[in-house]
């Protein structure tokens, strides 16, 4: 029995094992901090996001300060008044007016120091935009985003283009259920509520593509409701607007594969749900007038390639659970032509 007892005494205790696991988790978390996090709120790229980041860092600093003070006092008491062999128990003290006043006023003061900048930031990012801001209307659908530029006469989907350095006034609503629009590196999220409009205003400070998604559970494909905000240079944005406002009729050359694809678009009833300027006026699904110029399809879940577009048209519910776009049963003969036609819509 003696060897067995020695083995037991040398084995790690559950408490020490738990501490070891906790330290390993902290170490792994720290190692992950240097990765690529395209939806991190800790890398702001607009005035709105920067204000939120400053507020977060200030509150975090207060939290760290409180933690250090409280845990420091706790460790002091544990060590200073620990039980010692042969020592008498420490004296008991009942009530201390100074301490009681201090630990009542200190939390109140800390809460005031947190509340004042929080309230100031809440009002600062309430969504008020200066005169001359570019207006964008965001409409959430199951499960994609519609973007309207009322001053420019442009309607697109899933990919929002804005110019760098210019104020953007975003109005957000929903066509069906509650969604929530969020591009973390550009600012805080706002709910998209039917028959109600919420607002965000921001000025992007860097050219780039910023990812986001719906963050309010809205049905089977909530997780597949992505979005992209393309922050362009002024010249690039103007060129994009000019291309989107192009009123050239969508008439492919007679006898071309694109012409056959346009006939397939009409044949399979796509005109009932989608708008292509000069061809159809459906409003249920995304506007496809310039779908060939978008980088993604299917609510931002797939890159806009020939293979992905073919798979998407062939079986929308299979590619995106709960998709409101049904399987159109496009024949193998018509599918390549339809894909070619849609990709030609630049």
User: Per-residue pLDDT tens for 21-39?
Assistant: 777 776 565 555 445 677 8
Domains of the chain from N-terminus onward: 134-232 (2.60.40.420), 257-343 (2.60.40.420)
pLDDT at 11 over 80: no
In this prediction, residue 5 carries a pLDDT of: 44
In this prediction, residue 260 carries a pLDDT of: 92
In this prediction, residue 87 carries a pLDDT of: 81
Q: Which residue has the higher pLDDT, 137 or 329?
A: 137
State yes or no: cis peptide before 143, omega within 30 of 0.
yes
Contacts of 211 (CB under 8 A, 6+ apart): 38, 39, 183, 226, 227, 228, 229
pLDDT at 49 over 80: yes
Model confidence band, residue 191 (pLDDT cutoffs 50, 70, 90): very high
In this prediction, residue 251 carries a pLDDT of: 77
In this prediction, residue 278 carries a pLDDT of: 85
Kindly state the average pLDDT of the residues 2-13.
Answer: 47
What are the distances in angstroms from CA 293 to CA 260, 289, 313? 20, 9, 17
Model confidence band, residue 327 (pLDDT cutoffs 50, 70, 90): confident
User: Per-residue pLDDT tens for 140-189?
Assistant: 999 999 999 999 999 999 999 999 999 999 999 999 999 999 999 998 89
For the residues of 121-148, what is the DSSP string, one character each?
Answer: HHHHTSS---TTPEEEEEEEETTEEEEE
In this prediction, residue 206 carries a pLDDT of: 93
Model confidence band, residue 8 (pLDDT cutoffs 50, 70, 90): very low
- Tell me the pairing of strands 159-163 and 280-281: unpaired
In this prediction, residue 186 carries a pLDDT of: 93
- Return the structure tokens found at 197: 């409009």
pLDDT at 340 over 60: yes
Range with the poorest average pLDDT among 96-100, 130-134, 302-306: 96-100
166 in Cβ contact with 203 (< 8 Å): yes
- Average pLDDT taken over every residue of the chain: 87
Cα–Cα distance, 146 to 175 (Å, whole number): 10
In this prediction, residue 15 carries a pLDDT of: 56
In this prediction, residue 134 carries a pLDDT of: 96
Which contiguous run of DSSP H or E holds residue 11?
Answer: none
pLDDT at 90 over 90: no
Range with the poorest average pLDDT among 85-89, 224-228, 329-333: 85-89
For the residues of 203-245, what is the DSSP string, one character each?
Answer: -B-S-EEEEEEE-S--STTGGG-EEEEEEE-HHHHHHHHHHHT
User: Per-residue pLDDT tens for 206-237?
Assistant: 999 999 999 999 999 999 999 999 999 999 99
Kindly state the average pLDDT of the residues 41-68.
Answer: 92
Kindly state the average pLDDT of the residues 116-141.
Answer: 92
């Amino acid at each position: 029995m003696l060897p067995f007892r020695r083995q037991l005494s040398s084995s790690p205790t559950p408490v020490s094992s738990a501490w070891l696991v906790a330290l390993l988790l902290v170490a792994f978390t720290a190692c992950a901090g240097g990765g690529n996090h395209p939806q991190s709120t800790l890398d702001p790229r607009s005035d709105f996001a920067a204000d939120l980041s400053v507020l977060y860092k200030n509150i975090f600093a207060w939290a760290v300060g409180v933690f250090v003070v409280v845990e420091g006092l706790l460790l002091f008491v544990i060590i200073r008044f620990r039980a010692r062999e042969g020592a008498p128990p420490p004296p008991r003290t009942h009530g201390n007016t100074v301490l009681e006043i201090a630990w009542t006023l200190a939390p109140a003061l800390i809460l005031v120091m947190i509340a004042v900048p929080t309230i100031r930031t809440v009002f600062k990012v309430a969504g008020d935009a200066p005169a001359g801001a570019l207006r964008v209307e965001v409409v959430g659908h199951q499960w994609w985003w519609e973007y309207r530029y009322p001053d420019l006469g442009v309607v697109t989907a899933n990919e929002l283009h804005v110019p760098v350095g210019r104020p953007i006034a975003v109005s957000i609503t929903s066509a069906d259920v509650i969604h929530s629009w969020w591009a973390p590196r550009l600012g805080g999220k706002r709910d998209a509520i039917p028959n109600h409009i919420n607002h965000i205003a921001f000025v992007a400070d860097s050219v780039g593509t910023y990812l986001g998604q719906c963050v309010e559970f809205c049905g089977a494909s909530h997780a597949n409701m992505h979005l992209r905000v393309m922050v362009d240079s002024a010249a690039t944005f103007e060129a994009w607007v000019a291309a989107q406002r192009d009123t050239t009729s969508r008439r492919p050359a007679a006898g071309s594969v694109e012409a056959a694809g346009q006939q397939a678009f009409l044949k399979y009833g796509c005109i009932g749900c989608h708008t292509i300027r000069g061809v159809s006026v459906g409003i249920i699904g995304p506007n496809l007038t310039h779908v060939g110029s978008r980088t993604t399809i299917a609510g931002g879940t797939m890159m806009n390639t020939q293979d992905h577009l073919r798979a998407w048209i062939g079986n929308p519910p299979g590619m995106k659970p709960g998709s409101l776009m049904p399987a159109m049963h496009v024949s193998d003969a018509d599918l390549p032509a339809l894909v070619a036609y849609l990709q030609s819509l630049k």
